[in-house]
Every structure is written in structure tokens, then in C-alpha cells.
Amino acid sequence: MYQPFTPPPRRLMGPGPTMVHPRVLAASARPTIGHLDPAFAGLMDETKALLQHAFRTGNALTMPVSAPGSAGMEMCFVNLVEPGDKVIVCVNGVFGGRMKENVERSGGVAVVVEDPWGAPVDPAKVAEALDRHPDTKVVAFVHAETSTGALSDARAITDLAHRQGALVIVDAVTSLAGVPLLVDEWQLDAVYSGSQKCLSCMPGLSPVTFGAAALEKIRSRGSRVQSWFLDLSLVMGYWDSAGGRSYHHTAPVNAIYALHEALVMLHEEGLENAWQRHRDCHERLVKGLQDLGLEMLVEESARLPQLNAVRIPEGVDDAGLRRELLAKHDLEIGAGLGELSGKIWRIGLMGEAARPENVDYCLAALKSVLGNQLTAAA
């Protein structure tokens, strides 16, 4: 009655998960070993080193959380925010809103700085909020808003926060490996990402990195971290091979195999080359979209190469078009979220999706399906 599942062939060009290279799929299927096996400890160390490389950081506290990006986000907030702490949260899309939820559930007081969906965070507004709230402990923002395709100036916002003694929590779920993300040079304090975006691994893990100031804040907490699973002092003991690895949870062994392989591939390509590849594919896509008469949501200066928000033309059936792309072309693109639902499509060029042949395939499929829709409407 129940059969093994065979997924349909798909070209994934939405907001993630993105396509996974056969090398990474194969790595994930190698036989499981124990999470306390010395061979696995070696793999954990190498995965940490490769993540440091991808994050451009020397932070010792760099590792994948054993759960999706939302858990990486929550780890940052529950460890760095204590009850009563004031946190400036920059909201210019869905994920800024989720950060606000996390602040409040951690007992913090959220001060929201809003920007229009599709625009980057305005540093001048952050400066103003810091002036009004000199007791701010943390400034939280999304580097690359997956819901809108806008890239914000992480360095400028961080400089403002640091000038006033506040830490930053940075959502780099979509930015890691797709655009420059220089954790040490920009002095980012706490950063979380996801495995299924520009790292081109399967979903399920959340790489995070924490700098010295974040660690100091955690060490000096007066209250216990409300989450046991995400308590950084426990998780870091588990990932600390030099310190003898104290048992916390059971790491998702095969998922780490896969992440390691994706990171080895990124290292082989070179991080700058990966950034350039995303940029090149983005330019190819934007040119093709313009040729189809389609408009981008985000101003050119703030566009994310890896997440392209395209305005849905008047009279086109959003869901119908996406259904047709999937059914006839095995192509997945993303819908708009929240207030952009029905107004944009999100075309992802993340990791393995960022190849010229995928861009061309996507453009051809869009052209065909848009043509069908306009014919049907006429």
C-alpha cells in the first residue's frame, strides 16, 4: 500500500531550497557512523574550519546548528537577549518581522525600524533609533531579505550599533556564499545562515558564527537561556573537540556529511568566484527579464543577485503561471510573501541554480508560459 517516494524532476529556482549537486547528495547517503566516533569528530572540526572560510571569520564559535535557519535565528536571540533588553529590529520584509517575534519571546523589548518591502534598511533610521534609545543592547537586521530580494549595508548598520556599544544579530540566511559577507572585517557579532540557499546543500542545518563580544555577553548573562536545545554554552561544548566534546544532542550525522561536501566544493571553486558567478547569472537574468518586458521590484543598487523579485504584470494569473511552470517545465519559482503576495515572483539563483543554462531555461519557460497566458486572456 505504501510505496517508496520518487521525487519528480525539478529545476529549483525559488527562494530555497535550491538544487543540490550530485556530489552532495552522494555524500549524504554514505553509511551513518556514530556522532561520538573519532572519525566524526574530525569531520566536525573540518566542517567548522570550512564554515569559517565561508563566513570569512576566525571565530572559534562557528558551527552548524542541528536544525533549520529559523532555529539558528532563535539561537541568536535566546542567547543574546535577556528579559528587559532593548533590541532595535530593522523590518523590511518577512524575516525582520520574525526577528521581532523572537525578541519578544525572549523577553526583550523590540524597537522597530521600518523600511518599505523591497528597499534596503536605511542606516539613517537606525542612527535615529539609536539616538532615541541609547540603552539599546542589540541591533538586529536581515542582510539579504529573502522575501523581497533587497540587500542591506551590514557594515554601516554594524558600525552605528558598535559606536553605541550595542551588538548586532545578522540574518545571513540568503547572503552566505552568494554575496560578500565579511564577518571579521565588518565585525559582525552573531550571524546565522541556512544550508539550503547559496551553499546549495539540502535544507535542515543553520550555520552560525559568534564573535568575542557576543560570547562575553553570553558569559555575563544573569538569567538562564530559556531554550535547552539552543543554549550556546551547551552546544559549543558538544562542538569543542579540543575541550573533549560533552554530550548534548545527537548531531544529524548524514546532514553534516552533505554540508561538509558542499563546503569542500565551495572551497574548490573559491568564495570570490562563487560571488562572481551569482553576479554574472543575475545580470544575465535581469537582461532577459527586461527583454520580456518584466520589471524588478528592487532598485538596482540594492538588488540581491541570488534572489530576484520580479513584478507580476497586470492581468497575469500568479498561481496559475507558477502551476504551469511546474507542470509543463518542471520549474519552481517562488511566490511573494506577506504584503508582496500576488505582486511579485521570486526567482532564485542560489548555489547550483546560478548557472547560465538555468537562467536561459527559466527565461525560455517564462516566455512560453507568459505567452500562453496572454493568448488565453485575449
For a copy of itself, the binding residues in 241-300 under the rule CB under 8 A are 247-255, 257-258, 260-261, 263-264, 267-268
Part in contact with a copy of itself (CB under 8 A); list of ranges 97-105, 108-116, 286-294, 308-316:
97-105
Mention every residue, 6+ apart, whose C-beta is less than 8 A from residue 366.
289, 292, 294, 325
Binding footprint of a copy of itself, residue count (CB under 8 A): 81
Least distance to a copy of itself, CB of residue 377, Å: 25
Least distance to a copy of itself, CB of residue 363, Å: 20
Per-residue binder mask for a copy of itself (CB under 8 A), 18-57, x = binder: -xx--x-xxxxxxxxxxxxxxxx--x--x---x-------
- Cell 502551476 locates to 323
Residues 98-127 that bind a copy of itself (CB under 8 A): 98, 101-102, 104-106
Least distance to a copy of itself, CB of residue 3, Å: 7
Least distance to a copy of itself, CB of residue 79, Å: 13
Q: Quote the strand ranges of the chain, DSSP E.
A: 11-12, 61-65, 86-91, 109-114, 136-142, 144-145, 150-151, 167-171, 190-192, 206-210, 307-311, 331-332, 334-335, 344-348
First-to-last alpha carbon distance for the chain, in angstroms, is 46
Part in contact with a copy of itself (CB under 8 A); list of ranges 7-15, 272-280, 296-304, 353-361:
7-15
Part in contact with a copy of itself (CB under 8 A); list of ranges 17-25, 124-132, 209-217, 366-374:
17-25
Least distance to a copy of itself, CB of residue 49, Å: 8
Choice between 256 and 302, CB closer to a copy of itself: 256
Find how far residue 242's CA is from the centre of its chain.
Answer: 29
In this structure, the number of other CB atoms found within 10 A of the CB of residue 64 comes to 28
Which of 57, 67, 109 is closest to 230 using CA atoms?
Answer: 67
Continuous segment of H or E residues that includes residue 75: helix 69-80
Residues 52-91 that bind a copy of itself (CB under 8 A): 66-71, 73-74
Q: Which of 54, 126, 181, 337 binds a copy of itself (CB under 8 A)?
A: 337
DSSP letter, residue 10: -
Can you read off the three cell numbers belonging to residue 346? 521570486
Choice between 105 and 287, CB closer to a copy of itself: 105
Choice between 37 and 295, CB closer to a copy of itself: 37
Distance, in Å, from the CA atom of 124 to the CA atom of 90, rounded to the nearest integer, reads 12
Choice between 23 and 163, CB closer to a copy of itself: 23
Query: Dihedral of CA 34/39/42/46: which sign?
Result: negative
